[in-house]
Chains A and B, each alone.
Chain A
Amino acid sequence: MTFRARHLLGIEPLHPTEITELLDTAQRYAELNRHGRAPRDVLAGLTQINMFFENSTRTQASFEIAGKRLGADVMNMAMQASSLKKGETLIDTALTLNAMRPDLLVVRHPNSGAVDLLAQKVNCAVLNAGDGRHEHPTQALLDALTIRRAKGRLHRLSIAICGDIAHSRVARSNIMLLGKMENRIRLIAPPTLMPSGVAEFGVEVFDDMEEGLKDVDVVMMLRLQKERMDGGFIPSEREYFHRYGLDAAKLAHAKPDAIVMHPGPMNRGVEIDGTIADDINRSVIQEQVEMGVAVRMAAMDLLARNMRAARDQTGVMA
């Protein structure tokens, strides 16, 4: 089963072989990137629009570089400042953009399901760059590629995901992806930051960091949003760091060769100790950023191929 989808909206609908195809393609781009030999003609003549309804510097830059490296014409639209303020609905915005005939639409939106809704209304390929608490598929793919490169495989690993799982689309997409690839997933969080019904996800649940990290191969830390720090979900930043912040003592419970991951941006001293984040023997955080570009190149390449195939079939010139 090869990746034939029109859009990349989430990990949930993907088959393991589709995930592998995406990762294999991304792996090739990672190597080409390192040698500065990315083919400039893959997306040549295609228009990529990055629509970010929510602030993001890193993800937007990553998509922009990925598109430009493959020769796409990339345009960024900061949507918070734009039409929504004038009362335009998401669907009208989508229809307006659609009329400009873009080929790739990269969308981030603060509401779960908003990118799915938008994808129903446009003719181009839509990439979900994060929707509410729902999914962030390219993040999960770049995490998977990073793990595969560090561990040599992407199955039968014990992987801990720690932190604000309840509000994290990164956690959701990772749980889906790593579960589909048959890994053992351990979720570690204070119960107030654990999603409801989590026991039905086929994961192990811990509220104690040391217990949860025992003998894991991968430690995936999540960002704790500032607005959740004060009293609402956890008592304070310092109590959180004491109980759930990743430091050397807690990491000692993981396997000696366990890698440490973080989707960024990090709150040093809140969810992760600075020295661990910078430890080149353990932390793969910089590699994650690098793989992010490769994964997004792969996703856009495959979607563009599918789109061209569909256009050829219907007789419309690409």
Chain B
Amino acid sequence: MSTLFTNARLIDPERGETRGALLVEAGRIKAVIESGDLPQAAEVIDCRGHCLAPGIVDLGVKVSEPGERHKESFASAGRAAAAGGVTTIVTRPDTLPAIDTPETLEFVVRRAREDSPVRVLPMAALTKGREGREMTEIGFLKDAGAVAFTDCDRVVTDTKVFSRALTYARSLGALVMAHVQEPGLSNGAVVTSGKFASLRGLPGVSPMAERMALDRDIALLEMTRARYHADQITTARALPALERAKNNGLDITAGVSVHHLTLNEFDVADYRSFFKLKPPLRAEEDRVAVGEALASGLIDILCSMHTPQDEESKRLPFEEAASGAVGLETLLPASMRLVHGGVIDLPGLFRALSLNPSKRLGLETGRLAKGAPADLVWFDPDAPFVLDRATLRSKSRNTPFDGARLEGRVLGTWVAGRSVTETR
């Protein structure tokens, strides 16, 4: 079975943007055709001049199985991903219970295989129960399919435990993802300190807490030489440290959520708990600086940090409300704000959305190159719409973009050459 995509703006993060056609056969890209005669194919899809890009690899998605399936299941997350142009979701282990044994990991792999229309790659906890005391069976978990190890939003405060886990992970070539937030300073905080926090009377954390945690981790990397990814760098003050660490040859990458690039602390407005995130939304200067860092490549990976929360856990006084926002379906249209705002170009955006996470996890995806898996997203970058959260496929609809004007609509998604686009 072969499929020919014609009349497309081909967005290849490695080679830039071209016009042409793409031939897919047996789940892989057989040819990229920029000029000349088009080959025959069983199926022809006219892209109508819109964009065709490598499908998004979303690093750090919370699917609430096991434990809180009412918030999100593999079926609902998979549908949401397909609708959002996400072809691979890399799941977080902060479920109930945490994914910290090969047995629980196998549950995730099996459930994902049964229910998700898109690829699912699981991460596992770095320490048992994400409690920061004993490392998990990193070897067994890696053999069972864990692509990275993380305690998610819990920082391993005991530096001896963390340094040993990093050292052990390094020997297996395993990637460790960490949340960078100095835990003492951020304890109890729900917003970033400053004028807004004081106006609303909410406990705030200094943006410096991020840099302090990153500085510590960088020192541990110099010690251990481990493979390390900082989940979200959201402040200007952390950027010079990240840059130095990269220049010094440490194996470090960093990510950021699209929310921190498109919203700032004042969006919380009158205690809107859908804007309560971890780390909290930042000052406008930080948002701008981090956007520039993404464009320059200093920050490698753009993700949604998809965190489903039901109404009950959000409809509470701000301090008591749960953190996090769903993002699988809004990642691409929200990211397009950066393109339309002139912060980054389309190949640059897909470097951060598709290529870099693929490279970091050692995947073949993320490219529009001959032989690469045919994981594709077809989208109209300019189509405007107003987001109505009731239309989201996620079981939880805690999006900060409800009612927002967005530009950029996914028209189709393919995983290994097979369409996963829902018709409705």
A residues adjacent to B (C-beta < 8 A): 12, 89-91, 109, 111-114, 116-117, 131-135, 166, 169, 172, 195-198, 200-201
Contacts and interface: CB of A to CB of B under 8 A. Distances in A.
B224 to A, nearest CB: 35
A113 B194 contact: no
Contacts of A113: 200-202, 270-271, 317-319
A201 B149 CA distance: 44
A93 to B, nearest CB: 12
Given A117-B271, A197-B196, A201-B195, A90 B202 contact: no
A116 B315 CA distance: 12
A116 B270 CA distance: 8
Contacts of B195: 196-197, 200-201
Nearest to B311: A91
A133 B201 contact: yes
B400 interface: no
A195 B193 CA distance: 9
Nearest to A113: B271
A135 B196 CA distance: 14
A196 B317 contact: no
A134 B200 contact: yes
B201 A196 contact: no
B193 A197 contact: yes
Contacts of A135: 201
Given A116-B270, A201-B198, A196 B319 contact: no
Contacts of A197: 193-198
Contacts of A134: 200-202
A33 to B, nearest CB: 31
Given A133-B201, A134-B200, A172-B201, A111 B318 contact: yes
Contacts of A169: 201
Interface of B: 193-204, 206, 270-271, 312, 315-320
B409 to A, nearest CB: 32
B194 A196 contact: yes
Nearest to B193: A196
Given A132-B201, A132-B202, A196-B194, 16 more contacts: A90-B316, A112-B271, A113-B270, A113-B318, A114-B317, A116-B270, A117-B316, A131-B201, A134-B201, A172-B198, A172-B199, A195-B198, A196-B195, A196-B198, A197-B196, A197-B198
Nearest to A135: B201
Contact of A196 (B206, B312, B316, B320): B206
Given A113-B270, A116-B271, A196-B197, A133 B317 contact: no
Contacts of B202: 112-113, 132-134
A198 B198 contact: yes
A112 B201 contact: yes
Contacts of A166: 198
Nearest to B270: A116
Contacts of B204: 196
Nearest to A165: B198
B96 to A, nearest CB: 19
Contacts of A12: 199
Contacts of A133: 201-203
B285 to A, nearest CB: 13
B200 A89 contact: no
Q: Closest 5 A-B residue pairs measured CB to CB?
A: A133-B201, A113-B271, A134-B201, A197-B195, A111-B317
Contacts of B197: 195-197
5 contacts: A111-B320, A132-B201, A134-B201, A196-B204, A201-B198
Contact of B319 (A91, A111, A172, A195): A111
Contacts of A172: 198-199, 201
Contact of A89 (B199, B201, B203, B312): B312
A131 B317 CA distance: 10
Given A113-B200, A116-B270, A116-B271, A91 B193 contact: no
Contacts of A200: 194-195
A164 to B, nearest CB: 13
A91 to B, nearest CB: 6
A89 B194 contact: no
Given A197-B196, A198-B198, A112 B318 contact: yes
Nearest to B203: A133
Contacts of A117: 271, 315-317
A12 B407 CA distance: 35
A191 B270 CA distance: 27
A133 B195 CA distance: 14
A116 B320 CA distance: 14
Given A112-B271, A113-B270, A117-B271, A132 B198 contact: no
Contacts of B194: 196-197, 200
A166 B315 CA distance: 26
Nearest to B272: A113
Contacts of B203: 133
A255 to B, nearest CB: 28
A170 B315 CA distance: 26
A91 B315 contact: yes
Contacts of B312: 89
Nearest to A9: B270
Contacts of B193: 196-197
Contacts of B270: 113, 116
B382 to A, nearest CB: 36
B316 A112 contact: no
Contacts of B198: 166, 172, 195-198, 201
A114 B201 CA distance: 11
A86 to B, nearest CB: 15
A133 B317 CA distance: 13
A99 to B, nearest CB: 18
Nearest to B192: A196
